[in-house]
C-alpha cells in the first residue's frame, strides 16, 4: 500500500511539472485530477518532522511571502492584476520546488499533499481573480508545511512588501 502511495505521488509530481511547463490551459485541466490523487496520497504527520532541502526552503518562502501579500487582496487593498502577479509567483515557486527538491519518498509524498492544493488554488485565482476564496485555500495548503517539515525560521513573520496597491 505504501509503495502505491509513493508511486501515485511520484506520478502526480511528474504530471504537475509537465503540466506547469505546458501552459495554463493544459495545466488547469490536469491539476483537477492531480489534486484528488495528492489528497489520497497524503502521508501521516511524522513523529519527527523532516528536514527540508535548500530548494524546498527557498521555494516555500517565496510562496509563503506571495500568499501573505494576497491578504491585501482579500481586504480589497490590492488590484486584480497585482493578485494575479502574486498567484503567478506562487505557481513559479511550486514549479521550482518540483524541479529542484530532492527528498526521499515519504517527505516527497507529504510535500505533494501540500503543493498540489497550493498550485491548484493559485491557478484558480489566476483563471478567475474574482475567486478571492482561492487565497484562503493557498494559506490553508501552506499551513500544513510546518507539520511535516522542520524548517528553522519558518515561524518568523513573513516580510510583506508594502507597495502601491492600485497597479502592478
Residue 79 predicted with pLDDT over 50: yes
Higher pLDDT, 122 or 31: 122
Provide the pLDDT for residue 109. Answer: 94
Higher pLDDT, 26 or 75: 75
pLDDT digits (tens, 9 = 90+) for 91-108: 999 999 999 999 999 999
What global pTM score does this model have? 0.72
- Residue 157 — pLDDT band, cuts 50, 70, 90? confident
pLDDT digits (tens, 9 = 90+) for 138-147: 999 999 999 9
Average pLDDT, the chain: 79
SS3 per residue for the chain:
CHHHHHHHHHHHHHHHHHHHHHCHHHHHHHHHHHHHHHHHCCCCCCCCCECCCHHHHHHHHHHHHHHHHCHHHHCCCCCHHHHHHHHHHHHHHHHHHHHHCCCCHHHHHHHHHHHHHHHHHHHHHHHCCCCCHHHHHHHHHHHCHHHHECCCCCCCCCCCCCCCCCCC
Give the percent of the chain with pLDDT over 70.
68
Provide the pLDDT for residue 42. Answer: 55
Higher pLDDT, 154 or 29: 154
Amino acid at each position: 500500500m505504501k509503495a502505491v502511495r509513493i508511486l501515485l505521488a511520484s506520478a502526480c509530481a511528474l504530471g504537475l511539472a509537465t503540466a506547469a511547463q505546458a501552459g495554463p490551459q493544459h495545466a488547469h485541466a490536469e491539476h483537477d485530477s492531480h489534486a484528488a490523487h495528492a489528497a489520497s496520497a497524503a502521508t501521516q504527520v511524522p513523529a519527527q518532522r523532516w528536514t527540508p532541502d535548500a530548494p524546498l526552503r527557498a521555494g516555500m518562502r517565496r510562496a509563503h511571502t506571495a500568499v501573505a501579500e494576497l491578504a491585501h487582496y482579500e481586504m480589497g487593498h490590492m488590484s486584480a492584476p497585482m493578485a494575479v502577479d502574486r498567484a503567478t509567483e506562487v505557481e513559479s515557486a511550486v514549479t521550482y520546488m518540483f524541479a529542484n527538491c530532492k527528498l526521499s519518498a515519504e517527505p516527497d509524498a507529504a510535500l505533494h499533499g501540500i503543493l498540489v492544493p497550493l498550485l491548484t488554488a493559485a491557478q484558480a485565482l489566476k483563471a478567475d481573480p474574482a475567486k478571492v476564496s482561492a487565497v484562503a485555500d493557498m494559506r490553508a495548503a501552506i499551513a500544513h508545511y510546518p507539520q511535516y517539515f522542520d524548517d528553522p525560521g519558518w515561524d518568523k513573520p513573513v516580510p510583506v512588501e508594502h507597495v502601491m496597491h492600485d497597479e502592478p
